A and B are shown apart, each in its own frame.
Chain A
Amino acid sequence: MDSDCTLQTAETLLQPWAEGYDHPEPNRLDVQVTAANLKSAVQELVKAHWGYLSAITGLDHPAPGEAEGEDQAGSSSSLPVEGTLEALYHFCCSSVWTTLRVNVPYSRPVIPSICDIIPSATLYERELMELFGVELPGTPSLQRLVLPDDWPDGVYPLRKSFTGFESPTPP
């Protein structure tokens, strides 16, 4: 390990870009970043050789009422709630994790691609595009990776609103 694998280091590195921190577990640091700052934050970690990108997880947070369950009650955002998509960039260094969390609204689900910094992210980004419908401008390949060729456009299976097709096979 040629770099200093501690959460403090990561926290210091990400200071300029962070919107908020969280320590969900002793070996994990969650950092909220905006879509615009994501690339700078990733660049910072890569430059310092802080671990490697292990995975990108997509999460769907539908607006309450849109899909049952999940009422984001008590949250400070009292504005009319719109569903959001969240992308989690998990960086792993030895046994600790830093997760960059990017939240984007349904109406503008755009996150810049990080493939020019980490080329191996392309497969993860393609999954995110197909399964959640996040747009990733700058990503090298827009071709389908996992869904069938005749899968209808605009249907994103890992969003909570997708509950299957009416007929067992897509039309």
Chain B
Amino acid sequence: MEAHESKKFVVPIGPQHPALKEPGHFEFSVDGETVTDASLRLGFVHRGIEKATEGRTWVQNLYLLERICGICSDVHGTAYSIGVEKLAGVTVPPRAQAIRTIVAELERIHSHMLWLGVAAHEGGFDTLFMFSWRDRETVMDLLESISGNRVNYSVNLLGGVKFDIDEKQAGEIRRGLDYLEERTRHYMKVVTTDETFLGRTRGVGLMSKQQAELLGAVGPTARASGVERDVRVESPYLSYGEFPVNIMLETAGDLQARFVVRINELFETYRLIREILDHMPSGELTTRMPRRIPEGETISRAEAPRGELFYFIKSNGSDKPERIKVRTPSLCNWGSVISMAVGHKLADMPMLLVGIDPCFSCNDR
């Protein structure tokens, strides 16, 4: 914020953010307790990944792009693979598609539960934070049993997947989901009935449908304002065509709605994974992939836990990409926070920020 015309007080927050575990810098102009203006500075964890992709081969880039984000690493790999496979004209076998979908959905569970914990913590509700993170271990263990890793599962290969899911693992996943479903019911009860918690969320950070559309919000943030925007529904990729997802909408547009949307999405995800496990296609896990990708440009997108993830991939016909552009969902949602902040109490800021489930590594790249 440049020298302000009036004598407003500016409260800088960050880069070492007191609420979130990643660096970002905010400046809130306040009039008493009320925020009158907000600005944002990112880039503290900018690693130049887009530039770095231009010097690496298509295969190396898969591993680089997965490391954009630790929470939603799988969806980066998936969006990239889909794009490159499209350029190469390669069709991935159905079983591989199904496994990609299952892992993407397991990742959504882990991400939403992580978010629920962080959000509860910001709301001063540490018991819920401890509970949801304890239960999140269930899904982390499942991911580890499939891929051997708790984060960066790296299931994707260009042209397929690395890991199969056998009957024994499917049984483990089903048991894990049963437990999580029961726990999620409990969380739903807590976030919709606990008076103290509702005091922090109900009517806070209101964003109308119109505003959400204008500000270009995506993912659960947009769906909590009634905007029907979910890539899995609008433009089904992977196995979302055969196993359709129901879009979860809320119309209130406040923080509480953002909690409800995400928890409802958890239920929907449990249902979807069970359905895929019950109708698992058989067949190969991989297909042949050329080392050089034909010249062309493509757009590939996927629904990350935080919203629409966008990849623009341009190939010049060599074994390295000409340009890869990544636009992550958090970047779209910043606009909504900055404008929602105005008029709220400074003390609501941590909850508002966390309400969009921001991921700094993602939008810095």
Contact = CB atoms under 8 A, between A and B. Distances in A.
Interface residues of B, number: 39
B310 A53 contact: no
A55 B86 CA distance: 20
A17 interface: no
Interface stretch (A6-14, A106-114, A142-150): A142-150
Query: Taking chain B's interface residues, is the majority helix, strand, or loop, or is none over half, making it mixed?
Result: mixed
Contacts of A162: 51
Nearest to A58: B325
A27 B237 CA distance: 14
A122 B335 CA distance: 8
A144 to B, nearest CB: 7
B94 interface: no
A141 B50 CA distance: 23
A118 B216 contact: yes
Interface string A37-60: 000000000000000111101111
Interface string A19-33: 000001101100000
Contact of A25 (B46, B51, B298, B318): B298
Interface residues of A, number: 40
B22 to A, nearest CB: 14
A59 B323 contact: yes
A145 B215 CA distance: 18
Interface stretch (B35-43, B131-139, B144-152): B35-43
Nearest to B237: A95
Contacts of A160: 54
Interface in A81-117: 88, 90, 92, 94-95, 97, 99
Contacts of B332: 120
Contacts of A58: 325
Interface of B: 39-43, 46, 48, 50-51, 54, 86, 213-216, 228, 234-235, 296-299, 301, 308, 310, 312, 314, 316, 318, 322-323, 325, 327, 331-332, 334-335, 339, 364
22 contacts: A25-B299, A54-B327, A55-B325, A55-B327, A57-B312, A90-B312, A94-B234, A119-B339, A120-B216, A120-B332, A122-B335, A123-B334, A123-B335, A143-B41, A144-B41, A145-B41, A145-B42, A146-B43, A146-B46, A148-B43, A158-B50, A158-B51
Given A99-B299, A123-B335, 19 more contacts: A1-B228, A25-B86, A28-B299, A52-B213, A54-B301, A59-B323, A69-B318, A95-B234, A97-B299, A118-B214, A120-B332, A123-B331, A145-B41, A145-B42, A146-B42, A146-B43, A146-B364, A148-B43, A158-B51
